[in-house]
Structure 1
């Protein structure tokens, strides 16, 4: 195994888990995740940090996560839910579910890392029922030109050490480009370095 493979498989999942436990992330989860209902598909479920925040209206969760190490970390949380959790060991572009079979799709800090976010979002659109909801909170491109230029400069190096994460994507534009109707969008800085913390949070719906 190469040094890079070792980092991606064994070191990076631990770093992601630690970073996603930040109080800022927990506050966003507490606000967003209880809005999910019905049969839910979570893209990039990671170590299962969203699972404790799902409410009683969820009847099943498909937890899509390509990292075996992160899926193992999520197993104890899945065992403590009141609903069935089924893990899907696939990437965001490879959703295996039937068309119009999902009530809610959830994506939290995931669109920044998916190699082909439009393809993944189109797959989310396909599996949602008509009128189904996409709940999202993502970091991305800052509105200030100076900061955005620095995000452009730093993204290639950052992406190499952060699992493919892009600092400079516009989640709202990606979601709209995949065919969703944006119903609610909040934007602004959260706690931390401004290059990393301009956030997009909201609700989009399949027509």
Structure 2
């Protein structure tokens, strides 16, 4: 069983994720999430680099961190076409290979749902952001409707195994605020088509 899951996570899931997440409905949200970025940007869970083409061309640089080497290889190919330097590093959001107070903006799109320890990951983002730095995020998460939330909790154990650790039931807004960020603006709702168990999202901007 363990070897089957390893094969799925390392050989099957990366190209599937790349194809699914490249769809235009995600692109609209990527464009909104990355629009406020400026200066030196850190993106956690950069994956195959699908956000890169949406960033402002005036950026100083982007540091992309992801635990998946197969996805990072795809990101390397996309990074070659960018107008700004892109530095890709294998690592986890809970232990970022980035210096203290060294980035202006942190970006997380469909990533906090998958990290093992979101509290630790958000603490790491606070560590690497400069004073007044921004967190731009787009995450699907726990719906405030009790019936939908109950289904999200029921489905999460099976969904995690299929989707690389992704959880449907993370309360991202509460986690971000508890980590010491101040949410400056946020749109929450069914931002993607389909059932609310998957489509309920928070798209926002927070500051330390």
Fold match by TM threshold 0.5: yes
Task: Tell me by how many angstroms 1:74 deviates.
Answer: 1.0
SS of residue matched to 1:46: coil
Query: What is the aligned partner in structure 2 of residue 202 from structure 1?
Result: 204
Is the CA contact (8 Å cut-off) linking 2:35 and 2:56 kept in structure 1? yes
Unaligned runs of at least 5 residues, structure 2:
none
Give the gaps of 5 or more residues in structure 1: none
Which runs of structure 1 show a deviation greater than 3 angstroms over 4 or more consecutive aligned residues?
none
Determine helix, strand or coil for the equivalent of 1:35: coil
Residue equivalent to 2:154: 153
Which residue number corresponds to residue 124 of structure 2?
A: 123
Number of positions where the alignment pairs a residue of Structure 1 with one of Structure 2: 206
* Alignment of 1:168 onto 2:169: yes
CA-based RMSD of the aligned residues comes to 1.1
Shift of 1:66: 1.0
CA distance in 1, matches of 2:35, 2:113: 23
Q: CA deviation at 1:76?
A: 1.7
Counterpart-to-counterpart distance in 2, 1:84 and 1:23: 25
Matches within 5 A, 1:1-207: 2-189=3-190, 190-206=192-208
What secondary structure is seen at the aligned counterpart in 2 of 1:153?
Answer: helix
**Alpha-carbon distance in 1 for matches of 2:74, 2:100:** 29
SS in 1 for 2:113: coil
In 2: Cα distance, 1:56 partner to 1:161 partner: 35
CA distance in 1, matches of 2:123, 2:165: 20
Could you tell me how far apart the structure 2 residues matched to 1:56 and 1:21 are?
20
Q: Please tell me whether the aligned partners of residues 36 and 57 of structure 1 are also in contact (alpha carbons under 8 angstroms).
A: no
TM-score (norm 2): 0.96
Cα distance in 2, alignment partners of residues 178 and 78 from structure 1: 31
Provide the rounded CA distance (Å) in 2 between the counterparts of 1:65 and 1:6. 18
Tell me how far 1:4 sits from its aligned partner.
1.4
Q: CA deviation digits over 1:82-102, x for unaligned, max 9? A: 111111100111112111110
Question: Following the alignment from structure 1 to structure 2, what is the Cα–Cα distance between the partners of residues 81 and 121?
Answer: 27
> Does the aligned pair in 1 maintain the 2:58–2:84 contact within 8 Å?
no
**CA-to-partner distance for each residue in 1:21-68, whole Å, 9 max, x for gaps?**
122211111222122100000000011110011113311110001111
Q: SS where residue 111 of structure 2 aligns?
A: coil
Instruction: Measure, in 2, the Cα distance between the counterparts of 1:74 and 1:100.
Output: 25
